[in-house]
Amino acid sequence: MTAGTVGDAVRRGLADLGVEAVYGLPLAGAEVAEAADPAVASLLAEAHLLVHRTRCALHAGEGRLTVLDRAAALGAPRLPPPEVVPVDDAAGLTGCWAVAAGQLAGTGWARVAVRVDPEAPAAGDVPAAPAAPDRWIVPDPEAAARIDAAEAPVVLVGPGVADPALVPGLHALAAAGGLGVLNTWGAKGVFDWRSHHHLATVGLQERDLDLGGLAAADLVVASGLDGREVPAAGWGHTPVVTLAPGALGPAAESLTRPRPSPSTPRLRVELARVTQEGWAVTTGPLPPTAVTRAYARALGSGGLVAADPGGAGYWVARTFATTALGGAVVPARAGAVGLAAACVAVARRHRPHRRALAVTDADDDRTAAVVETAARWGVAVPIERWRDGGPALDADTHAARLDALLASPVPPRSADLATDAGQMARMVAAAGELVAWTPAMTVPPADRADWSWPA
């Protein structure tokens, strides 16, 4: 045991909870990515959960902390907000983190109010480290038996599987069973788009699931889904085996029936046709698929494109060719305008030279506020805004501008671009109307828990 201050104890407690960043108002003893506007701080925290996939915290001032786990951003069932854990004296600091850990395990977020002078002395007790998440969950033996017995099973996965520690289990299951995998857009990158096991990205248009193979499937193997991307009403009519993301690898070891590689579904064929037609166009205004292809080339290995929900977000989620996990982030939350800029801000705060681009078709105050906040950190947020009145650049000019936009160290900066709106009609003809972010896809009563501090 060593002597220290309350601020030191708070810093240690957050570290032991696995908190890797704090957003909001200054907090004694901790490094904070400062954001005076609570709405901006909330966007930055949500972006952190989507980009870094690690815990973070919001500080509302006066020791009022909200600790967030990635589950809080993935459309988990709406639960009542956790009770505030009050800390009224230095002696209560150690125990509060254990209570917070329990709240995180149950709801994905926790609230702590440290009502003690941060400079007051506090014991240097080290809280017990939280238990490591179990990433090897042995499934019910019946689950593997049902997968083996199915004639035409299809795997459907969402963002809960989009974790570097979990993806190998998914790959093992697909290889062991000769299974095809449909992923929602929140799980882009779980397979390289060229893999025989990657059937398509789904959830964006009304016919995605049927054309992706569910119409002919006799079993759906579901894991890590976010109901805002694929509500159960769209696929629950088929018999379902639900596996925890940590059960995918163990299930693979239980399969005994090999199958040939899955065939390419009609959805992927039809979408590829429209996508590749756009690739051939080099004059402005460029089709959206030519633009997203340019993004992939400009961002390169380890880059990031983040897009707000809406028209631009649809095209990134639908046609950005992923070769690695985490290369594209498009939120499932309707109305999450400004989150694209927030994703780039938190990504480049961690890695200042990362090639990262925010894409939006909104001209809004929230994006501007995020950019201004990041600029105060010394972080530049490159933005390309799709708008009808923007310049209709040809392919070479657009590529050169992208390179300049991503390389310039001077914050803030953005550029407008006009795209060819006609390509959307061909996508609708291929897979139906856009359903992502529509009221029918929103989880009632809200599509994200309210992390704001109670009055």
More confident residue, 258 or 330: 330
Question: In the chain, pLDDT over 70 holds for what percent of residues?
Answer: 93
Looking at 137-190, list the stretches that DSSP marks H as alpha helix, in order from N- to C-terminal side. Answer: 141-149, 167-177
Query: Topology of 282-419 in CATH?
Result: Rossmann fold (3.40.50)
Cα torsion angle, 6, 12, 15, 17, sign: negative
Residues in the chain: 455
Say yes or no: do domains 141-264 and 282-419 share a fold: yes
Q: Are 413 and 382 in contact (CB under 8 A)?
A: yes
What are the C-alpha distances in Å from 152 to residues 146, 259, 431? 11, 10, 22
Chain-centre distance of CA 355, in angstroms? 18
Burial degree of 274 (CB within 10 A; 0-12, 13-18, 19+): buried
Domain ranges in the chain are 3-122, 141-264, 282-419
Which residue is listed with tokens 């059960």?
Answer: 247
**pLDDT the model gives residue 447:** 54
* 298-352 residue pLDDT tens: 998 889 999 999 999 999 999 998 888 999 999 999 989 999 999 999 999 999 9
Rounded to whole angstroms, the Cα distance separating 305 from 391 reads 21
Mean pLDDT confidence for 152-169: 95
Topology of domain 141-264, CATH: Rossmann fold (3.40.50)
Yes or no: say if 231 and 447 are a contact pair by the CB < 8 Å rule.
no
Question: CA–CA separation, 168 vs 165, rounded Å?
Answer: 7
| Predicted local confidence at residue 72, as pLDDT | 82
Q: What pLDDT is attached to residue 3?
A: 63
- Binning the chain into helix, strand and coil, the percentages to the nearest 5 are 40, 20, 40
pTM here?
A: 0.94
Kindly give the residue spans of alpha helices, DSSP state H, lying in 308-422: 311-319, 339-350, 365-377, 395-407
Task: Return the structure tokens found at 256.
Answer: 């005994």
DSSP label of 25: S
- Quote the tokens at residue 350: 């961690």
Q: What is the DSSP string of 218-241?
A: SEEEEES--TTTS-GGGTTTS-EE
For the CA atoms of 421, 286, 403, 315, what is the dihedral angle to 10 degrees?
40
Cis peptide before 285 (omega within 30 of 0): yes
The rounded distance, in Å, linking the Cα atoms of 91 and 126 is 13
Q: What is the mean pLDDT of the chain?
A: 91
